[in-house]
Amino acid sequence: MKKILITGASGQIGTELTTYLQSVYGHDQVVASGRHDDIRHHAIYEKLDVLSAVQLIEVIRKHQIDSVIHLAAILSAQGEKNPEALWQINMNGLYNVLEAAKETSAAVFTPSSIAAFGPETPLDHTPQLTIQRPRTIYGISKVAGELLCDYYHHHFGVDTRGVRFPGLISHEALPGGGTTDYAVHIFYKAIETGQFSCDLGPETFLDMMYMPDALRAVVELMEADPAKLQHRNAYNISAMSFSPSQLAKEIQKHLPEFRMDYDVNPVKQAIADSWPNSLDDSCARAQWGWRPEYDLSAMTSHMLKVLGSRSR
């Protein structure tokens, strides 16, 4: 990647990825974009609606973009409240990005998710290639997106790549309506009040990842030798799998007075129960050298250290 456009740059991933890519490629090589005027980014910024293919092509040509990191999307829990809006943004937006990439020869990274799997999928060590029958509109859009990216690569030669992200944990940006959001909010509440009410059950295991690993995965995949990529869209990647009760116990090692109760959200719980407990990411490890750096212990320690320093 040399000149990069990020769509959805104000979201949980985009906020941090913009800064990270600037540190890797240079400040002037990254263009952040979103549907609204946004002055939070210390970056070149374009107001851009992914539902306009014309705007996409104009921005790509204006800045001589060679790689698009397409993050504009509605997440799982919010999507169940408004499936029509999700389909518009997640699918028509991706279609427009791929059409723009076809016209401009840009490469495209678009993330898939553990939501691409469903209750018939093996729950533990979910294989790279397995049955995908999700029961959420978000998951359906992710499966369709994986297939659409494959189609544009095989039929039009677009350099499409992606990963299936697990739940992402960040100390920089709050999540935006996903099923795994509790694993971020719990840290803020542990620091602020010493207690947290979790909207998933205590033994709900889900794959998770600390944001620094997720950011690094984007760059490493996009810089990987294309000849070695057998599963372009999208690779399982994993770092840790834990339940809310395990996360609470890990936090209590640092904050012994922390307490958590449960107020289970039935919609989120049903979604979480349909997702894998853990992913097999051996293909990503073998084909482009994927290795996570943070486990549950290291992530918890770092999250509490950073958030604790801000609260003083």
Over the stretch 273-288, which tens digit does the pLDDT of each residue have?
999 999 999 999 999 9
Kindly state the average pLDDT of the residues 11-16.
Answer: 90
Residue 48 and residue 61: Cα distance in Å, rounded?
Answer: 13
Q: What does the pLDDT read at residue 180?
A: 87
pLDDT tens profile 37-82: 765 557 899 999 999 999 999 999 999 999 999 999 998 888 889 9
Q: What does the pLDDT read at residue 40?
A: 58
List of residues 6+ apart from 256 with CB closer than 8 A: none
For the cut 70, the answer to whether the pLDDT of residue 203 exceeds it is yes
Listed range (15-19, 41-45, 116-120) with the worst mean pLDDT: 41-45
Residues 163, 234: contact at Cβ < 8 Å?
yes
Residues 289, 220: contact at Cβ < 8 Å?
yes
Q: What does the pLDDT read at residue 7?
A: 97
List of residues 6+ apart from 286 with CB closer than 8 A: none
State the pLDDT confidence band at 177, using cuts at 50, 70 and 90: confident
Q: What does the pLDDT read at residue 87?
A: 96
Task: Give the chain's mean pLDDT.
Answer: 94
Nearest to 229 by CA among 278, 279, 290: 290
The yes-or-no answer on residue 138 being catalytic is yes
Tokens, residue 279 = 């992913």
List of residues 6+ apart from 264 with CB closer than 8 A: 198, 199, 200, 201
**Catalytic annotation, pick one of 20, 138, 152, 235:** 138
Phi first, then psi: what are they for 83, rounded to 5°?
-60, -30
Q: What does the pLDDT read at residue 77?
A: 80
pLDDT tens profile 205-233: 999 999 999 999 999 999 999 999 999 98
Q: What does the pLDDT read at residue 39?
A: 52
Domains and CATH numbers, the chain: 4-167 (3.40.50.720), 168-208+238-311 (3.40.50.720)
Residue 25 burial (CB count, 10 A): 16
Query: Which residue did the predictor score with more confidence, 3 or 312?
Result: 3
- pTM of the shown model: 0.92
Q: What does the pLDDT read at residue 312?
A: 63
Q: What percent of the chain has pLDDT over 90?
A: 87
Q: What does the pLDDT read at residue 79?
A: 86
Q: What does the pLDDT read at residue 66?
A: 98
Q: What does the pLDDT read at residue 201?
A: 97
Q: What does the pLDDT read at residue 43?
A: 85
Q: What does the pLDDT read at residue 253?
A: 97
Listed range (34-43, 171-180, 190-199, 242-251) with the worst mean pLDDT: 34-43
For the cut 80, the answer to whether the pLDDT of residue 295 exceeds it is yes
Q: What does the pLDDT read at residue 186?
A: 96
Query: Which residue did the predictor score with more confidence, 43 or 83?
Result: 83
Q: Crossing angle, helix 53-62 and helix 93-104, to 10 degrees?
A: 40
Burial class from Cβ neighbours inside 10 Å (0-12, 13-18, 19+) for residue 141 reads buried
